[in-house]
Chain A
Amino acid sequence: MKFTVSIRLSNTEGALERLLGRLRQRAFEISSMSAERTADRAFIEARFTIEGTRDVEPVIKQLAKCYEVQSLKFQYTEGGAQNGQWQNHTEREVCLPV
């Protein structure tokens, strides 16, 4: 299973590290990543291409649980349903105020 996640997260200490930790704990491998701070320094726009053998949606929910995450969308690029279509993930408890 291969998928791409596009995430906008608040630019707070440890935000990226938290996302990476959640992927690593669940044995997902990142095949490529890019991250850029927005001009106003408030956010990071990050994009990961990820491979793994586990179901994707549970880990998407775990990423979305990070309080820095402001918005998240993902697409399967190999082996998933709705291949190539971006899906917005909107279910979240709360996110950190910026």
Chain B
Amino acid sequence: MKGAEILIKALENEGVDVLFGYPGGAIMPVYDALVGSKLKHILVRHEQAAALAADGYARASGNVGVCMATSGPGATNLLTGIANAHLDSVPMVAITGQVSTTLMGTDAFQEVDIFGMSMSVVKHNFIVRKTADIAKTIHDAFELARSGRPGPVLVDLPKDVVSAEIDDVQFKESSSKPMPRPEAKDLHIAHDLLLNSRQPLIYAGGGIRIAGASKELCAFVDATGIPVVTTLQGLGAIPADHPLNLGMLGMHGTKAANFAVQSCDLLVCVGARFDDRVTGKLAEFAPGAKVIHMDADPAEIGKLRMVQCAIMGDIKVALNFLHVRPEIDFWVKRCMLNKEKFAWDYNAPMESVYAPKFIKEMSDRSPENTFVSCDVGQHQMWVAQHYGFKSPNNHLTSGGLGTMGFGLPAAIGAQYASPESCVITVSGDGSIMMNIQELATLKRYNIPVKIVLFDNKALGMVRQWQELFFNENYSEVDLSDNPDFVKVAEAFGIPSYRVERADEVNDAIDRMFSHQGPVLVHVLIDPKENVWPLVPPGKSNEQMMEAKTV
């Protein structure tokens, strides 16, 4: 068997059905073996999109996403997508071609040391130097990617290694390391902390999605009666309309969520990591709270915040164990009053489109099990604030790395993970240009992704910060010379239409959902619209800035 054939068989053994990639010189033996295999290869138009599509596929399906590129520029183009998966703990295997082993280290054509370059943005990586090691390495790569705290694993394959033939190949069964049960003593400490708390708060993060523990989280919330705040990655871990859900916390969190965090006496952190966008000024985050921290990764415990109780291992077991009922009626009432008092106001008396209201209408009108991917910027925060997610798998957002250009490729990946579902990508006029070439992928495979493109003719989030924190000294944020996005979409063969006024919104959304194939909806919004509330940099979470006027 040729090395490339061993690779394909090993991928099939791991249950891979789709992979995203782009061919080139060093990876050609693998593309040769791909012909006639059971694997469906999606040809993207830039390697970064291959990695981001694999990321989207993994988030939406819960399986390992796979991407592939050639050596040199193909491999370096994957890096942003790999880093994106690393920072959001997304299981991915990235396969890179490499020049032949005899040429490695000679500055050969399209040679880069991708093994060395990727080391700080992967969970682990491998170079395979012997054909006989390919099957085992692919097995280990998948096991590492999906076990414990998931993450990306890169496998670098020199051309001579995948071209050589060997006999007697041993394939291993697909496997993953089971999550250990939490220690009983830790659960009992947490039990007592919960029972003795008077102002407890659950702080739920992306770990809920990774562990598939939404049901257990909801049961825990219902049993204890404790209010919940979620991180960006935790949105949907508990349904947006759950009465005890106070919304997202942090920089663009709700006032109810941030006030609750700052005044709680016990913070139950479930699969979250005290990210700086969540905590604001770390020293002043939840200042009066003891902390219970549940996580799969020992390195997260005590990394940024000292804890009174660490629960390692399977969070489902922990959540099911901790069904206690502390005496917290007064606290819950206070949280609920804040939730009501600071509820979003969609009453925007203006002719132009108010993006938060558009997203709220889209959320209300979307079919069951709709997936929403985002790019990065103001529109990303509006989606987080105003789309009512019911499951964490349905929200695909680049939280850790903040990768502009994530949305469209991630939506492509999500559509392959769930072909029958509606998939929307919400983008901005800055972000869309980062991977706009993937419109060609939508057209090629007729992938029915719905693109909502909010256009404020600016890099809106940067512009907002320049307005607020740099004395309105606007520097390189003007995009008023954007192309005509409707014409761009049409040039790629994607139907498109424009929405300019508030009274067109509902019809535009209905038209988008009733359209069978891919479509781009170009939505013009006020360039001066900002994201509120906002915790300024270096401030604590109760020091939120608000809109002067809406």
- Chain A residues with CB under 8 Å of chain B are 13-14, 17-18, 21, 25, 57-58, 61-62, 64-65, 67, 91-94, 96-97
Contact = CB atoms under 8 A, between A and B. Distances in A.
Contact of B124 (A58, A62, A64, A67): A67
A68 B267 CA distance: 35
12 contacts: A13-B127, A14-B125, A17-B116, A17-B119, A65-B298, A91-B312, A92-B298, A93-B149, A93-B298, A94-B144, A94-B148, A96-B140
A75 B57 CA distance: 44
Contacts of A21: 119-120
B243 interface: no
Nearest to B312: A91
B120 A67 contact: no
B148 A93 contact: yes
A57 to B, nearest CB: 7
A58 B302 contact: yes
Contacts of B116: 14, 17
Contacts of A18: 119
B314 to A, nearest CB: 13
Contacts of A58: 299, 302-303
Interface residues of B, number: 23
Contact of A93 (B129, B140, B297, B303): B297
Given A13-B126, A14-B127, A17-B119, 9 more contacts: A13-B129, A14-B115, A25-B120, A58-B303, A62-B299, A65-B299, A93-B147, A94-B144, A96-B124
A57 B306 CA distance: 12
B53 interface: no
Nearest to B115: A14
Contacts of B341: none
B426 interface: no
B548 interface: no
A66 B85 CA distance: 18
A18 B120 CA distance: 8
A50 B177 CA distance: 33
A93 B302 contact: no
A57 B119 contact: no
B306 to A, nearest CB: 10
A57 B304 CA distance: 11
Nearest to B304: A58
Given A13-B127, A67-B144, A94 B177 contact: yes
Nearest to A90: B298
A10 to B, nearest CB: 12
B98 to A, nearest CB: 13
> Which 4 residue pairs of A and B lie closest in terms of their CB atoms, listed nearest first?
A93-B148, A61-B299, A91-B298, A94-B177
Contact of B298 (A13, A17, A61, A96): A61
A9 to B, nearest CB: 13
A97 B143 CA distance: 12
Interface in B97-145: 115-116, 119-120, 124-127, 129, 140, 144
A97 B296 CA distance: 20
Nearest to B299: A61
A13 B115 contact: yes
Nearest to B148: A93
A32 to B, nearest CB: 23
A57 B303 CA distance: 8
Contacts of A65: 297-299
Contacts of A94: 144, 147-148, 177
Contact of B296 (A14, A61, A67, A93): A93
Interface string B308-329: 0000100000000000000000
A17 B148 CA distance: 23
A67 B149 CA distance: 13
Contacts of B124: 67, 96
A23 B148 CA distance: 23
Nearest to B177: A94
Interface in B317-346: none
B176 to A, nearest CB: 10
